[in-house]
């Protein structure tokens, strides 16, 4: 029942986003915009995007207990992203934690905590890149406000995680004081996921460096798409577009971020007065080159992680 509520609410939010993204657009102009794109463009975009997942897998391996094979880390990351494309409310994160937990026999709570840490680094880096994308340009105040708000939220969250990571002895005893042994174990494993980043003082910087690399590689994909439509924007604009879209799709919407992806993509290009048909067409291409290959790649890993069907994914996160 809870999943159905998430699904209905997500679709409602997506329909609202789609209305604002598509309102007043001529589909004939959007379709005509695709004539500018070479058939090699999607191939380059998909290849670049998939490369980013190898880096994501390496980063997550560093956040997990020692001994997790990179192949398992990669598979779980891909499966999690694929599940986000077919399940509402970003439930793919739970699928990812479940997958690595099954395969490598680690706690799902611990895996979820590591994903939470990963998302904090993502948000912080995306916000920083978003700011770099508009720095020194005549940009609306709302864009600057997004940057300030993002840095405040994710920067504060990262500070909290690092404090927890390096002060384990101070709070570990308090968790053990909980009367429920099950709750004690869940909280303990979740907290342990935070402490893994404190195994050595260099690890947070390693994770930060890999996170920057992940998003710079993905930004190349955005750059290729924008250039293929001959959209005239500053060289740094793809940083802003990528940042705003990825922060925007944190809003719980329909599976695959439908609606939210299109709305925030068109909005991100609006400060440069980009033709709305070209803006939407480029965003549709980016979304398709992210959605289709990762969903298919994730399907390949279903049985590898013990899920016999997509329905089993839904059951796993109930």
Q: Which of 164, 152, 81 is nearest to 123 (CA)?
A: 152
- Model-level pTM? 0.92
Q: Are 246 and 238 in contact (CB under 8 A)?
A: no
pLDDT in tens, the chain (318 residues): 666 777 788 899 999 999 999 998 999 999 999 999 999 999 999 999 999 999 999 999 999 998 999 999 999 999 999 999 998 878 899 999 999 999 999 999 899 999 999 999 999 999 999 989 988 777 777 877 887 888 888 988 888 888 877 776 666 666 666 655 555 566 666 666 777 788 888 999 999 999 999 999 999 999 999 999 999 999 999 999 999 999 999 888 889 999 999 999 999 999 999 999 999 999 999 999 999 999 999 999 999 998 876 656 666 666
CA gap 133, 241 in Å, rounded? 8
d(CA 18, CA 122): 25
């Amino acid at each position: 029942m809870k999943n159905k509520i998430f699904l209905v609410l997500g679709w409602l939010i997506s329909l609202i986003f789609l209305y604002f993204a598509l309102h007043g657009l001529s589909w004939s102009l959007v379709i005509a915009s695709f004539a500018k794109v070479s058939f090699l463009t999607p191939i380059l975009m998909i290849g670049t995007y998939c490369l980013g997942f190898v880096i994501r897998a390496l980063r997550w391996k560093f956040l997990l207990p020692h001994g997790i094979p990179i192949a398992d880390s990669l598979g779980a990351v891909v499966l999690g992203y694929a599940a986000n494309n077919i399940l509402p409310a970003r439930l793919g994160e739970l699928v990812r934690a479940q997958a690595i937990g099954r395969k490598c026999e680690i706690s799902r709570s611990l895996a979820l905590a590591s994903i939470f840490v990963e998302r904090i680094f993502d948000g912080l880096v995306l916000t920083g890149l978003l700011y770099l994308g508009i720095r020194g340009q005549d940009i609306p105040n709302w864009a600057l406000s997004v940057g300030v708000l993002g840095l405040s939220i994710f920067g504060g969250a990262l500070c909290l995680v690092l404090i927890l990571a390096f002060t384990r002895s101070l709070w570990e005893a308090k968790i053990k004081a909980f009367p429920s042994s099950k709750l004690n174990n869940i909280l303990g494993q979740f907290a342990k996921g935070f402490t893994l980043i404190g195994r050595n003082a260099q690890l947070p910087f390693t994770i930060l460096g890999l996170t920057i690399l992940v998003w710079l590689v993905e930004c190349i994909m955005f750059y290729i798409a924008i250039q293929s439509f001959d959209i005239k924007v500053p060289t740094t604009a793809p940083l802003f577009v990528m940042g705003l879209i990825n922060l925007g799709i944190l809003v719980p919407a329909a599976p695959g971020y439908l609606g939210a992806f299109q709305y925030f993509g068109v909005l991100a290009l609006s400060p440069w007065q980009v033709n709305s048909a070209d803006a939407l067409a480029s965003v549709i291409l980016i979304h398709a080159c992210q959605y289709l290959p990762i969903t298919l790649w994730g399907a390949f890993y279903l049985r590898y992680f013990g899920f016999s069907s997509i329905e089993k994914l839904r059951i796993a996160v109930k």
